[in-house]
Amino acid sequence: MDTLTSDRIMHDGAVSRRLVVLIALGDASRAERLAASLAASYDLLPVVAGGGRADVAIVDDSIGDGVPALIPRVLLTGRAGGEWPVGEVLAVMSAGADDLLIAAAARLAAAGYCVSGERGSGRHEDFRAGDGEPFEEEASDEHAARPSLSPREAEVLALLAEGAPNKVIARRLNISVHTAKFHVAAILIKLGAANRTDAIAIAMRQGLVLV
């Protein structure tokens, strides 16, 4: 069974640090509910108050100060448009976005991806490696064929989007860890992804996973 401590997670035989997610929302009740939801993830460690070390912060329109400037942020906003400080906000989402979608955005922002979305729909249109430049929509070929994933690969991909390590994927799908690793490798190849985080970004951009 996976061994968890305050900020460490046993990931396929090796201990790696969980992402510390600072939740700084004007609505304290929403912050507590979101923290409880994110705490159920395998790789996230939410904290609601206080400074300290954090890998990514989730904020809303009411929060201006109190979050260190160098921490990448996921902004939950009800505004139809606007500009946000480059280098701070790496993900922009609807204020009513689903908790699992917020969790996925937090992982991507912590990994340096810029995530911009369509306000109010929860549908994300742009996932790219962050380079300090403002959000820009890149030209895409809408007619490009999506990678063909098997039903099992689609199940594995959905669990990847939840942050599940190979051992958890194997347990949830009742397969061996070796088979889980095989499916993950196949997904990375089919998506042309460099790693698991990149695979999630590509899959969400192409609508292959709905979290």
Contact indicator for 67, 73 with CB cutoff of 8 Å: yes
DSSP H or E stretch at residue 14: strand 14-17
Domains of the chain in sequence order? 8-129 (3.40.50.2300), 151-205 (1.10.10.10)
Contact indicator for 199, 193 with CB cutoff of 8 Å: yes
Nearest to 30 by CA among 93, 99, 100: 99
% of the chain residues with pLDDT over 70: 69
Q: What is the pLDDT of residues 131-169, one digit of tens each?
A: 444 334 444 444 455 678 889 999 999 999 888 899 999
Residue 106 predicted with pLDDT over 60:
yes
Distance CA 209, CA 189 (A): 16
Q: Which residue is associated with the tokens 């985080």?
A: 197
Helix axes 99-110, 196-205, angle to 10 degrees: 130
pLDDT at 34: 93
pLDDT averaged over every residue in the chain: 75
**pLDDT band, very low/low/confident/very high, at 117 (cuts 50, 70, 90):** low
Backbone angles phi, psi at 56, to 5 degrees: -160, 150
Across 83-92, 113-122, 171-180, the highest mean pLDDT is recorded for: 171-180
pLDDT at 170: 94
**pLDDT band, very low/low/confident/very high, at 50 (cuts 50, 70, 90):** low
